């Protein structure tokens, strides 16, 4: 029998490795940015076209590579970071396995330009599908420039699995945020289709956070600082009132490397226990510094998961540090009475003794003594003499001698008597066709029994179809605001709003400006209060981020669903009889009255037979 096991060709092995390392354009961005940081670059530029599907280019001013190093960098497991297995437990660099460039070159067109500071000329290498096309000398600035073009050009199936440009760009921005936040001393710039998205100068950590997520972020941050023998913590957490519905502003960095850790995230949530509403997530930007020998970062291809030697100790320290910071800055409630500074003793009086107040008493005062009129006006009560009390009883003798028939004409106020126990009540209820139960359900009678309608879901369905019609027909009515609203959002959130701007305007929103982390609104849809605008837009952005829509995603549909959910009548809201009837009639005038926009039942039917069986 012939042998059946054989070695894979290099280009096939590289494509298999690429499946673990390169999942989407954002994976390429992460690897190239980390390589630029390892090259000691102080300024890094990221250029994107078509959300990375056409071009991902990273330009840095690092130390560059020699012609030999440039050629070897595309070989599998060729690295300058480690020499032995022991080096895996003392890593201070981003990449170390030497598989990123080889994997990227296997599935894309790659062009590398690199030059060292001591050399006059640099090296140009062009690779297509692991095959080197050219290697020549070129003129280029000191540093390295890597351009990755036509990603997955030789694997059409992988390219078809990519999401829409909107989703892929959002993943790229997320990776850019993670790298830029971990290294505030490095200048970063990002361009997409020729327009500048970010231009981050060298700064401290707080300024880097504010530059990425907007100027309003500065007032949300509470510093966290703690140093122990096991762990050093630095960074910021957000105030509880600024908690968000998504986890888009939660960042853990261990030794300047972004990680995902549900266990440590639980420690943060435990510190915020009782301060954040259910369904919201606290904001945090925390840097953890530990001994490299106490962690293992080689357990995941993307190196975003880390194994700690003693997670329980880290959990306790992190939770206590965050709670201490919240209490230190008067964010968390404390067991103390309200302190009034007005009760403090002034500094000039701290050594002064108390003086006994003098009390003056008029010993000759008698309230029952008659006051003689001496030109002063006295009250009518004091003028009366003991003999004048007789005048109060004048006429009572005649009233007492009246006939008893006078009392028969006295009328008393009382509630009218009911003819029967339920008679008038039934007559009153017959004029009402709907009833509200527990301020949550509307009960309406039908021939076969009764309907129990969920008022929140029913109103969602009514608003959803109305909003879809407004967006489609583009005939929505706006109410102009006397004073424009100014709302602040992060760069990523503004990108989503710009993409949805035309659909939002079709529903009645009027945007006068969207730029520099701020949105100015001068008009709102009918029946949308000013106080609800920020909630509606934040909910809309949250829905777009959580749904992660693909290329078949309808922005109009998601917009209508999100706005309907925000504007619908809430559970617990009391409705008048007229409002109840209007909601019921509007629901059954819809095309799909039986389900909400999220495909949940809006009403149930209870037949007479079902009620009768309850009494059997």
Angle between helices 455-473 and 555-567 (to 10 degrees): 140
- Measure the CA–CA gap between 431 and 433, rounded to whole angstroms: 7
Lowest mean pLDDT among 2-6, 397-401, 588-592: 397-401
Contact criterion met (CB below 8 Å) for 74 and 216: no
Element (H, E) at 213: helix 205-213
Looking at residue 602, the DSSP 8-state letter turns out to be S
Q: Which two tokens stand for residue 465?
A: 């179809």
* Among 283, 281, 285, 289, residue whose Cα is nearest residue 314: 289
- Measure the CA–CA gap between 286 and 147, rounded to whole angstroms: 32
Q: Rounded mean pLDDT of 525-539?
A: 78
Average model confidence (pLDDT) for the chain?
A: 79
Contact criterion met (CB below 8 Å) for 121 and 36: no
Identify the pLDDT of residue 273.
87
Bridge partner residues of 232 (DSSP): 227, 289
Identify the pLDDT of residue 381.
47
For β-strands 257-259 and 250-254, DSSP reports them as antiparallel
Element (H, E) at 187: strand 187-192
- Measure the CA–CA gap between 602 and 587, rounded to whole angstroms: 9
Identify the pLDDT of residue 421.
47
Identify the pLDDT of residue 393.
61
Does the pLDDT at position 441 exceed 70? yes
* Among 7, 27, 175, 9, residue whose Cα is nearest residue 100: 27
- Measure the CA–CA gap between 226 and 321, rounded to whole angstroms: 6
> Please, which residues have CB within 8 angstroms of residue 321's CB and are 6 or more apart in sequence?
224, 225, 226, 233
Segments making up each domain of the chain, as ranges: 10-200, 214-328, 441-605
pLDDT digits (tens, 9 = 90+) for 343-379: 666 666 667 777 788 888 888 888 787 655 444 444 4
Token pair 């007229």: residue: 578
Q: Measure CA of the first residue to CA of the last residue in the chain; give whole Å.
A: 79
| Burial state string for 239-273 with b = 16 or more CB within 10 A and e = fewer than 16 | bbebbbbbebbbbbbbbbbbbebeebbebbeebbe
Q: What is the 3-state secondary structure (H, E, C) of 364-386?
A: CCCCCCCCCCCCCCCCHHHHCCH
Angle at 18 between CA 14 and CA 22, to 5 degrees: 155
- Sorting pLDDT into bands at 50, 70 and 90, what band is 616? confident
Identify the pLDDT of residue 391.
60
> Please, which residues have CB within 8 angstroms of residue 24's CB and are 6 or more apart in sequence?
52, 162, 163, 168, 171
| Burial state string for 49-66 with b = 16 or more CB within 10 A and e = fewer than 16 | eebbbebbbbbbbbbbbe
| Cα pseudo-dihedral 493, 496, 500, 502, rounded to 10 | 80
Looking at residue 263, the DSSP 8-state letter turns out to be H
How much of the chain is in helix, strand and coil states, percent to nearest 5? 40, 20, 40
pLDDT digits (tens, 9 = 90+) for 253-311: 988 888 888 888 999 999 998 888 887 889 999 999 988 887 766 656 566 777 777 88
Contact criterion met (CB below 8 Å) for 124 and 137: yes
Architecture of the domain whose range is 214-328: 2-Layer Sandwich (3.30)
Q: Rounded mean pLDDT of 86-107?
A: 69
Residue 332 main-chain phi, psi, to 5 deg: -85, 145
Contact criterion met (CB below 8 Å) for 147 and 60: no
Q: Rounded mean pLDDT of 3-23?
A: 73
Q: Rounded mean pLDDT of 12-22?
A: 69
Identify the pLDDT of residue 357.
80
- Measure the CA–CA gap between 111 and 133, rounded to whole angstroms: 10
Residue 365, number of CB atoms within 10 A of its CB: 7
HSE toward the beta carbon, residue 72, CA cutoff 13 A: 9
- Measure the CA–CA gap between 46 and 179, rounded to whole angstroms: 12
* Among 78, 37, 72, residue whose Cα is nearest residue 58: 37
pLDDT digits (tens, 9 = 90+) for 42-59: 999 999 999 999 999 999
CATH number of 10-200: 3.30.565.10
For residues 310 and 92, which has the higher predicted lDDT (pLDDT)?
310
Exposed / middle / buried, residue 467 (Cβ in 10 Å: 0-12, 13-18, 19+)? buried
Residue 566, number of CB atoms within 10 A of its CB: 19
Identify the pLDDT of residue 502.
81
Residue 382 main-chain phi, psi, to 5 deg: -75, -25
Does the pLDDT at position 201 exceed 50? yes
Q: Rounded mean pLDDT of 173-183?
A: 92
Q: Rounded mean pLDDT of 448-460?
A: 89
Looking at residue 398, the DSSP 8-state letter turns out to be H
- Measure the CA–CA gap between 490 and 507, rounded to whole angstroms: 23
DSSP alpha helix (H) spans, 272-359: 311-328
- Measure the CA–CA gap between 87 and 102, rounded to whole angstroms: 22
- The CATH number of domain 441-605 is 3.40.50.300: no
For β-strands 43-49 and 187-192, DSSP reports them as parallel
């Amino acid at each position: 029998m012939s042998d059946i096991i054989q070695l894979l060709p290099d280009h096939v092995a590289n494509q298999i490795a690429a499946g673990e390392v390169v999942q989407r354009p954002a994976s390429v961005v992460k690897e190239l940015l980390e390589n630029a940081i390892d090259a000691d670059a102080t300024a890094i530029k990221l250029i994107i076209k078509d959300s990375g599907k056409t071009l991902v280019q990273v330009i840095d001013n690092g130390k560059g590579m020699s012609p030999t190093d440039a050629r070897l960098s595309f070989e599998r497991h060729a690295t300058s970071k480690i020499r032995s297995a022991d080096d895996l437990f003392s890593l201070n660099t981003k990449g170390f396995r030497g598989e990123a460039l080889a994997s990227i070159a296997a599935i894309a067109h790659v062009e590398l330009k690199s030059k060292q500071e001591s050399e006059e000329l640099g090296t140009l290498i062009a690779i297509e599908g692991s095959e080197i096309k050219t290697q020549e000398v070129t003129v280029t600035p000191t540093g390295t420039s890597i351009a990755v073009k036509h990603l997955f050009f030789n694997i059409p199936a992988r390219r078809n699995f990519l999401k829409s440009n909107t989703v892929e760009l959002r993943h790229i921005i997320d990776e850019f945020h993670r790298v830029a936040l971990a290294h505030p001393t490095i200048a970063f710039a990002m361009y997409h289709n020729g327009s500048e998205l970010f231009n981050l100068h060298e700064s401290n950590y707080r300024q880097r956070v504010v530059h990425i997520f907007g100027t309003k972020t500065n007032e949300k941050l509470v510093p966290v600082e703690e140093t122990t023998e096991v762990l050093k913590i630095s960074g910021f957490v957000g105030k509880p009132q600024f908690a968000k519905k998504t986890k888009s502003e939660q960042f853990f960095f261990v030794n300047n490397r972004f990680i995902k850790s549900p266990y440590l995230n639980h420690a943060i949530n435990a510190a915020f226990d009782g301060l954040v509403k259910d369904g919201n997530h606290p904001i945090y930007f925390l840097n953890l510094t530990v001994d490299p020998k106490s962690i293992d970062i080689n357990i995941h291809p993307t190196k975003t998961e880390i194994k700690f030697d003693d997670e329980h100790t880290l959990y306790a320290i992190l939770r206590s540090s965050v709670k201490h910071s919240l209490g230190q800055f008067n964010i968390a409630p404390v067991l103390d009475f309200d302190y009034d500074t007005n009760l403090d003793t002034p500094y000039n009086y701290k050594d002064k003794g108390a003086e006994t107040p003098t009390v003056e008493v008029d010993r000759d005062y008698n309230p029952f003594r008659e006051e003689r009129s001496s030109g002063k006006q006295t009250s009518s009560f004091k003028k009366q003499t003991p003999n004048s009390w007789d005048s109060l009883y004048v006429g009572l003798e005649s009233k007492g001698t009246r006939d008893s028939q006078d009392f028969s004409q006295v009328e008393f106020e009382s509630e009218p008597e009911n003819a029967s126990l339920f008679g008038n009540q039934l007559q009153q209820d017959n004029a009402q066709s709907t009833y509200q139960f527990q301020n949550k359900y509307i009960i309406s009678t039908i021939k076969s029994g009764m309907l129990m309608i969920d008022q929140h879901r029913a109103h969602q369905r009514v608003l959803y179809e109305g909003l879809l019609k407004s967006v489609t027909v583009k005939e929505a009515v706006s109410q102009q605001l006397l004073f424009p609203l100014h709302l602040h959002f992060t760069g990523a959130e503004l990108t989503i709003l710009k993409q949805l701007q035309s659909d939002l305007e079709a529903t009645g929103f009027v945007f006068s400006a969207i730029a520099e982390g701020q949105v100015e609104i001068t008009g709102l849809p009918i029946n949308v209060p000013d106080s609800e605008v920020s909630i509606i837009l934040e909910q809309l952005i949250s829905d777009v981020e959580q749904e992660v829509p693909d290329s078949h995603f309808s922005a109009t549909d998601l917009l209508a669903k999100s706005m309907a959910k925000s504007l619908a009548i809430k559970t617990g809201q009391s409705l008048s009889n007229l409002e109840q009837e209007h909601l019921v009639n509007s629901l059954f005038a819809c095309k799909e009255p039986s389900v909400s926009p999220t495909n949940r039942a809006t009403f149930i039917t209870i037949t007479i037979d079902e009620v009768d069986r309850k009494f059997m």
